[in-house]
Structure 1
Amino acid sequence: MNRDNDGRRSSRGLTLVGGLVAGAVGTVAAMAALGPRLLMVEDESPYGFAETTDRFESAVESTDWKILHVHDLQGKMENHGYVADRTTVYEICSSEHASNILTRDDERVVSSMMPCRVSVYETSDGRVYISRMNAGLVATVFGGVVRRTMDDAYTESEAIVDATVDPFDDPRP
C-alpha cells in the first residue's frame, strides 16, 4: 500500500485494482450475455417454412455457390424417437472461396468451419427463421487470406439470405 505525503496510507492503488477487477468481470459478463447473439445471425422470414426453403435453394442456385448437402434435422430426430420442429440445415460452398483456404497449408486450419452452414427453422409458434454464423465477425480474429476470404464469403452468403427473405426479390425462375 502506498503512503501519501503526510505518511497516511493511500487508497489509490486499491481503487485502481478494484476498477480493473470490476471492468474485467463486467466484460466477461457482457460477453457471456451477448456472445451467442454476436456469433450467430438470424433473420425472420416473411414466408412459411416450405416457401423459405424453396426461395433459399433458388437464391443459392442463382449464384456461383452450390448446395453440397441438406440435413433434415426434424426427420433425423424423429428417426431416433424425438419430436422437433422443422429444421433444415444447408451446407453451401463457393469453390472459389474454398480453394483460397484449401490450397494453402497455413490457412487450412479453418477448414473445420467449412462449408458454410445455413439453417432454416420453424419455431413452435410457426415463425420461420434463417440462422447462420456471423462469419464477418469471426473473420476479424484472422488475418491475411483467411480474413479476406471469410469477409467475401460472408458478404455473398448474406446476399443469398437477403434474396430469400426480401419480398421484392424473388430468386425463383
Structure 2
Amino acid sequence: MKILHAIGGAAIGAASLGALTLKLFQTQMVKEIPSPKNFEETCKAIEKVIPQFSNSGWGFPFEKWNFYKVFEDRNIDVPNIRKLTVYFVCNANLAARVINTNNAMAGIMPCSWAVMEKADGKTYISKMNIGLMAKMFTGEIKKAMLEVEKTEKEMFKRIFS
C-alpha cells in the first residue's frame, strides 16, 4: 500500500512539475521589455547599437518593417498599439552553427525585435526569450543560443543607456 501511495505521489508531483514548466514556457517564451525611451528614441538606439557589434558578426540582414502600416493598409484595428516596427537582428556565423546542427531551426531566424508604442504612450521591445529557449536544447544549439543571450544583454544595456 505504501508503494502505491509513493508511486501515486511521484506521478502527481511529476505532473504538477510538468504543468508548471509548461506554464512558465507559455508565459515567458516571449519577453516584453519596457523601454525607458520613447518609440523614436528606442528605434534610433537600436539602429545605432546593433552596428556596434558588427565586428563580431551582428547586423540587420534586411530593412526594418513598419508592421503597423500593414494593419492600417488593411483597415485592421489594433487598439492597444499606436506604432509597431520590427527589426531583424542576425549573426550569420551563430545562425550557421545552429542550422548546420538542425536545418529546421532556419524557421526561427533571424531574431526579430518588435518595438511598439502602446495606447498608454509607453514603449516596449518584444522579443523571443533566447535564454529560456536555450534550456530546451543541448550541444551546439544551446551554446549558440547562450552566446546570443549574452550579446543581447549587452546590446540592451547600450540601447537603454
TM-score (norm 2): 0.82
Deviation at 1:117, TM superposition (A): 1.1
Aligned residue for 2:40? 50
Aligned residue for 2:72? 78
User: 1:54-65 maps to which residues of 2 (within 5 A)?
Assistant: 54-64=44-54, 65=58
Task: Please give the alpha-carbon distance, in whole angstroms, between the structure 1 residues aligned to 2:10 and 2:121.
Answer: 46
Cα deviation, 1:26-55, whole Å, max 9, x if unaligned, reads: 224423432233322232111111111111
CA RMSD of aligned residues (A): 2.0
SS in 2 for 1:99: helix
Aligned residue for 2:143? 148
Corresponding residue pairs, total? 154
* Alignment-mate amino acid for residue 82 of structure 1: I
Change (3 A) 1:128 1:57: same
Could you list the structure 1 runs, at least 4 aligned residues long, displaced by more than 6 angstroms after superposition: none
**Which structure is higher in helix share?**
2
Aligned residue for 1:99? 96
Identical columns (%): 25
Deviation at 1:123, TM superposition (A): 2.2
**CA contact under 8 A between 1:69 and 1:92: conserved in structure 2?**
no
User: 1:108-127 maps to which residues of 2 (within 5 A)?
Assistant: 108-127=103-122
Aligned equivalent of 1:88, options 72, 85, 102: 85
Task: Please give the alpha-carbon distance, in whole angstroms, between the structure 2 residues aligned to 1:142 and 1:31.
Answer: 15
Task: Please give the alpha-carbon distance, in whole angstroms, between the structure 1 residues aligned to 2:15 and 2:104.
Answer: 32
* Alignment-mate amino acid for residue 94 of structure 2: H
> Any gaps of 5 or more consecutive residues in structure 1?
1-9, 167-173
* Alignment-mate amino acid for residue 65 of structure 2: H
**CA contact under 8 A between 1:93 and 1:116: conserved in structure 2?**
yes
Change (3 A) 1:45 1:100: same
Cα deviation, 1:65-114, whole Å, max 9, x if unaligned, reads: 21223222211111111123122221111122223234x3x432311111
SS in 2 for 1:69: coil
> Any gaps of 5 or more consecutive residues in structure 2?
none
Deviation at 1:14, TM superposition (A): 4.0
Task: Please give the alpha-carbon distance, in whole angstroms, between the structure 1 residues aligned to 2:124 and 2:18.
Answer: 29
Bigger mean CA offset, 44-53 vs 121-130: 121-130
Aligned residue for 2:13? 23
